[in-house]
Structure 1
Amino acid sequence: MSVLRSVVLFVLAALAEIGGAWLVWQGWREHRGVLWIAAGVLALGAYGFVATFQPEAHFGRILAAYGGVFVAGSLAWGMVADRFRPDRYDVIGAALCLLGVAVIMYAPRG
């Protein structure tokens, strides 16, 4: 059950961080306004709290593993929000990152 909880928390963290960054991007670069930026800042703040609920106690391990989730999540977000089409190297890179997440977070430790 802790692996499932951890995966759900990683997904929530990715939604908050990537969504928050996207909102700031839209507000500033696409000139959508200060409300978009403010919503992005709030989402980014929420991201900061999500990791604290991970069952793993080591901050460095959580953040290192989350980096792989961020890479794959960013490509997925781009596909949905901006109609970005990743090429095979994007997909291979994201898969390698997720493999790294699995090794860092879920490998058996003695």
Structure 2
Amino acid sequence: MTAFAYIGAALTEIAGCFAFWAWLRLDKSPVWLMPGMVSLALFAYLLTLVEADHAGRTYAAYGGVYIVSAIAWLWLVEGARPDRWDMIGGAVCLCGAAIILWRPRAA
């Protein structure tokens, strides 16, 4: 469930932020803002589904998933192929997220 919540949160956050980017930077209609706001609200909801003792730890671990998802967005939506440094950086961030989320915790 955690992986699905994080991936869903990343996709909805990127889509919501892209809607604002499209409006402000690509001169799209302000109508783009409505689905963008809905998407950002869904993003916030999805993060609440992650099983973690503290919100801050959930958000910190999510950061790695977000970075990898943003690199995928760069490639799949924007058509810019990530370079090896994008891939290495994404892998490092994802490893960091796994350490934060799944390291052994004292009871």
Fold conserved between structures, TM > 0.5: yes
TM-score scaled to structure 2, two decimals?
0.93
Q: Which amino acid letter does the alignment assign opposite residue 108 of structure 1?
A: P
Structure 1: give runs of 5+ residues left out of the alignment.
none
Q: Count residues with an aligned counterpart.
A: 106
1:29-68 per-residue CA deviation (whole Å, 9 max, x = no partner) reads: 1112111122112111211111111111210100000111
> Aligned-residue CA RMSD in angstroms?
1.0
Q: Which runs of 4+ in 1 moved over 3 A?
A: none
2:78 match:
82
2:18 match:
22
Contact 1:28/1:37 (8 A) holds in 2: no
**Aligned equivalents of 1:84 and 1:36: distance in 2?**
23
Secondary structure (helix, strand or coil) at the match of 1:53 reads coil
Secondary structure (helix, strand or coil) at the match of 1:82 reads coil
Deviation at 1:88, TM superposition (A): 0.8
Deviation at 1:107, TM superposition (A): 2.1
Structure 2: give runs of 5+ residues left out of the alignment.
none
> Greater helix share, 1 or 2?
1
1:52 aligns to 2:48 (yes or no)? yes
